[in-house]
Copies of this chain bind each other. A is one copy, B any other.
Amino acid sequence: MASIMVMENQENGGGGGGFFGRGWRWLMNLWGKITSPIKDLASDAKKLAKDDPRRVIHALKVGLAITIVSLFYYFDHLYDGFGVNAMWAVMTVVVVFEFSVGATLGRSVNRGISTLLAGGLGFGAHHLANLSGENFEPVFLGLFVFIIAGFVTFLRFIPKLKARYDYGLLIFILTFCLISVSGYRDDEVLNMAHKRLSTVLIGGSTALAICILVCPVWAGEDLHNRVANNIDKLGTFLEGFGGEYFKTSGSENKEKKAAMEGYKSVLSTKSTDETLANFAKWEPRYGRFKYRHPWDQYLKIEAHVQECAYRIDALNTHLNSELKISNEIREKLQEPCKKVSMECGMALKELASTIDSMTTTPNVDIHTANAKSTAKILKNMLKLSSWKDNDNNLDLPEIIQVAGVVSLLLEILNCTLKIGDSVSELASLAKFKKIHGIKLVIRKKSLQRTRSTDDSPHIVVNVE
């Protein structure tokens, strides 16, 4: 930005100012070039902090943990105890402290257990090589290190191990090499391994304590909310779709359209979900989540959600198509199409709030039943007999356009049912609360606004 302004200045100023003027402008230009990426970064950082203030808190937590451990290290009486090994405590905090509790726990446990196992194995290897005499010792050691490092490196490729124990395997190689190769006498190696282990414990427990006690971020909760939000986003699109597609006026509601396009973030959600689920498995029971909460079930739900998002993406291209629909087709198909889309959207929003509140209501079934029966009407309507009286005016490309939309809507209904099934599976696995009566759930603002444009009758009775 700054550099562009300077260049404009140059052109407007018309080369006046002589040597100093040019020099000054050159300096300003350089200054702009240096500062503009920094300004970009700063605005990025501001946005990140605003989007999720937990990030700022996380940074402060890491600072705190490292400071505490560093000062341990600084003070003499501790330093005398652990010697240079004390730096392992600082290292452990830096390397182990992650954003969520699950990730931090996973890395700590990996690091601790690997250090223990590899330390033991390394000590054994060192002792064995010692027995072979001074000449053969380096050969044996080299062989051990080569075999273990190569073998464990290969293990890191196996997806099952990579997902949860990748860091542990890395630390295993590291510790094994350090312990087995170090040229000390046996008792010193033992001492070293012991010190390394205890400093790792100090660092790890400091990191864990601060991670859990100060504003903890739970990966499991993030995953839970993420899945609910994703389903909600699909629901928002579907609730808005009917109105947008069959709209008569050309007026555009930009805010609504932006809300509808929220589904796009759902298209590529898989790898983040898997990471979160892996972290969540490390977490103890907390808040609403019991020990052994069925985290994998969320991934199953997300698979169906993503499938549904693909269909919605295809539907979105129809929204932006230029082909206009004649009044004839509009009259026939508008109502059932709108209804199916709206009911699917409402079912999805109900499913989102089922997950969100961990309470199942029969509302979902009502909406899916409505959608199913309307879908049947829609299918019947598409029999040519119902169009016969005026089929001279029929424009097939138009029907085909609408037919594409109809078939996508039917597929989306299918996906919605699948999502519903997988959510109720989650509900039974995680023992969600059940409300048997029909209940008017307090809906979000976006939904209420959309609903007011929809004229089809709903039976919603507040029983509880």
Which B residues are in CB contact (< 8 Å) with A181? Answer: 70-71, 73-74, 90
Q: Flag if B150 contacts A60 (CB, 8 Å).
A: yes
Which B residues are in CB contact (< 8 Å) with A201? Answer: none
Q: How far is the CB of A464 from chain B (nearest CB, A)?
A: 40
Assembly CA distance A181 to B70 (angstroms): 6
Q: How far is the CB of A338 from chain B (nearest CB, A)?
A: 18
Q: How far is the CB of A186 from chain B (nearest CB, A)?
A: 15
Q: How far is the CB of A341 from chain B (nearest CB, A)?
A: 16
Which B residues are in CB contact (< 8 Å) with A79? Answer: 183
Per assembly, the copies of the chain total: 2
Assembly CA distance A168 to B48 (angstroms): 20
Interface of A is mostly: helix
Chain A 308-342 near chain B by CB (<8 Å), digits 1 or 0 = 00110110010000000000000000000000000
Assembly CA distance A275 to B391 (angstroms): 55
Given contacts A177-B70, A383-B396, contact A76 B183 (CB under 8 A): yes
Assembly CA distance A382 to B301 (angstroms): 39
Q: How far is the CB of A169 from chain B (nearest CB, A)?
A: 11
Question: Which residue in B55, B90, B94, B159 is a CB contact (below 8 Å) of A170?
Answer: B94
Which B residues are in CB contact (< 8 Å) with A397? Answer: 379, 382-383
Identify the interface centre among A149, A150, A395, A400: most chain B CB within 10 Å of its CB: A149
Q: Flag if A142 contacts B70 (CB, 8 Å).
A: yes
Q: How far is the CB of A128 from chain B (nearest CB, A)?
A: 15
Q: Flag if A94 contacts B310 (CB, 8 Å).
A: no
Q: Flag if B60 contacts A138 (CB, 8 Å).
A: no
Q: Flag if B95 contacts A170 (CB, 8 Å).
A: yes
Chain A 148-168 near chain B by CB (<8 Å), digits 1 or 0 = 011101110111110000000
